[in-house]
Amino acid sequence: MSARSASWPKVAFLGTGLMGRPMVRRLLAAGVPVTAFNRSPQPLAELVEAGAGAAPSAAEAVTEADVVITMLPDGPVVGEVLRGGVLEAARPGTLFVDMSSIHPALAREHAGLIAARQGQALDAPVSGGTVGAAEGTLAIMVGGDQPDFERAAPLLSVLGRPTLVGPHGAGQLCKLVNQAIVAVTIGAVAEGLSLARAGGADPVQVREAIMGGFAHSRILELHGQRMNERRFEPGGTVTTQLKDLDAVLDVAATVGLTLPLSRRVHDLFGALARDGGGGLDHSALILEIERLAAGDRTGPERS
């Protein structure tokens, strides 16, 4: 074992779904000792083959951990896991890094629960999707105290680019800012490519033509390609995007801010989810744009 490997903290990773699985692989490749837990056994079996330890419960996963990373579906699930034996099983001084996307108010509540058990907390949601998780290029938005951030930074740097943006809850607020921009931009790209197709231009070539200009973005690059290729297998799902936009609008209402673009794109994602598209990639918003324009969806059936 190298000196660098020997210096890594012991990590418990709770939640090895679409995002968690490649993140654990990144940690393992760097030599980080990881014990993982997931409610569904198949992802764990894959990670054990890659060198991870597997625990039969979340509580048992954290007993020897220096750092606990959670990547779970939503805030209530995070709270359920913390209160379901994990906080009691963790040693004093354990650092909890919640990389799930949850409401800022819940992040602050969870930090209080962890502090009451003599632990430290960071909320550290990510952006970059499954591609960023696999490549270690995630944008990691961190809320919490500076010493705890410095403790976690080497570990988080294996997964991407961590930035401390403020106190507890600020990481989740930053993620909501990100999600509002992502959602509105997905809507803009979907409208633009729909306009190209309806007007008689080749949307593939239109996307190529505007890449590098002021309209260029990662959304145009990645999601625009998915829209043109009609590939809607999930990276980030419509349901997850809608959940995040619910939180965006809730926080905006709390601070007395009106966000008309976020409201409109929230309603479009909601209509797509009600029509059975909740499990599709959020680039599938183009299907809802097309339905509104033509009363029918064009192109191949949803995959």
pLDDT in tens, 158-167: 999 999 999 9
> If you average pLDDT over residues 129-154, what whole number do you get?
96
Catalytic hit among 175, 243, 266, 282:
175
Confirm if 43 and 52 have CB atoms less than 8 A apart.
Answer: no
283 DSSP 8-state letter: G
What confidence score (pLDDT) does residue 42 get? Answer: 82
Confirm if 1 and 59 have CB atoms less than 8 A apart.
Answer: no
Instruction: Say how far apart CA 123 and CA 104 lie, in whole Å.
Output: 9
**Torsional sign, CA 254, 258, 262, 267:** positive
Question: 163 - beta bridge partners?
Answer: 141
| Residue at 100 is within a domain | yes
Q: Are residues 30 and 118 in the same domain?
A: yes
Provide the domain count of the chain.
2
Q: Kindly give, in sequence order, each residue whose CB lies less than 8 Å from that of residue 217, ignoring residues fewer than 6 positions away.
A: 185, 189
What confidence score (pLDDT) does residue 294 get? Answer: 73
> If you average pLDDT over residues 279-295, what whole number do you get?
93
What confidence score (pLDDT) does residue 296 get? Answer: 52
Q: For this structure, is 175 an active site residue?
A: yes
> Does residue 301 register a pLDDT over 60?
no
What letters, b where the CB count within 10 A reaches 16 and e where it falls short, cover 27-55? bbebebbbbbbbeeeebbeebeeeebbbb
Q: At what angle do helices 260-272 and 170-198 cross, to 10 degrees?
A: 70
| Residue at 303 is within a domain | no
| Residue 163 CB coordination number (10 Å) | 15
What confidence score (pLDDT) does residue 2 get? Answer: 43
| Residue at 28 is within a domain | yes
| Domain interval for residue 207 | 173-294
CATH, residue 90 = 3.40.50.720
> If you average pLDDT over residues 57-62, what whole number do you get?
97
CATH, residue 198 = 1.10.1040.10
Q: Kindly give, in sequence order, each residue whose CB lies less than 8 Å from that of residue 303, ignoring residues fewer than 6 positions away.
A: 230, 231, 232, 233
> Does residue 257 register a pLDDT over 50?
yes
Q: What is the pLDDT of residues 95-130, one digit of tens each?
A: 999 999 999 999 999 999 999 999 999 999 999 888
Percent of the chain residues past pLDDT 90, beyond the cut: 88
What confidence score (pLDDT) does residue 303 get? Answer: 41
> Does residue 300 register a pLDDT over 60?
no
Any long-range contacts for 34-37 (C-beta under 8 Å, 24+ apart)?
Answer: 35/10, 35/11, 35/61, 35/64, 35/65, 36/12, 36/61, 37/12, 37/13, 37/61
What confidence score (pLDDT) does residue 302 get? Answer: 43
Q: Are residues 142 and 238 in the same domain?
A: no
Dig out the tokens for 204 from the structure: 């593939």
10 Å CB burial of residue 145 (0-12, 13-18, 19+) is: middle
> Does residue 45 register a pLDDT over 70?
yes
At which of 167, 202, 226 does a domain end?
167
Confirm if 14 and 37 have CB atoms less than 8 A apart.
Answer: yes
What confidence score (pLDDT) does residue 282 get? Answer: 96
**Residue 81's pLDDT band (cuts 50, 70, 90):** very high
> If you average pLDDT over residues 40-58, what whole number do you get?
92
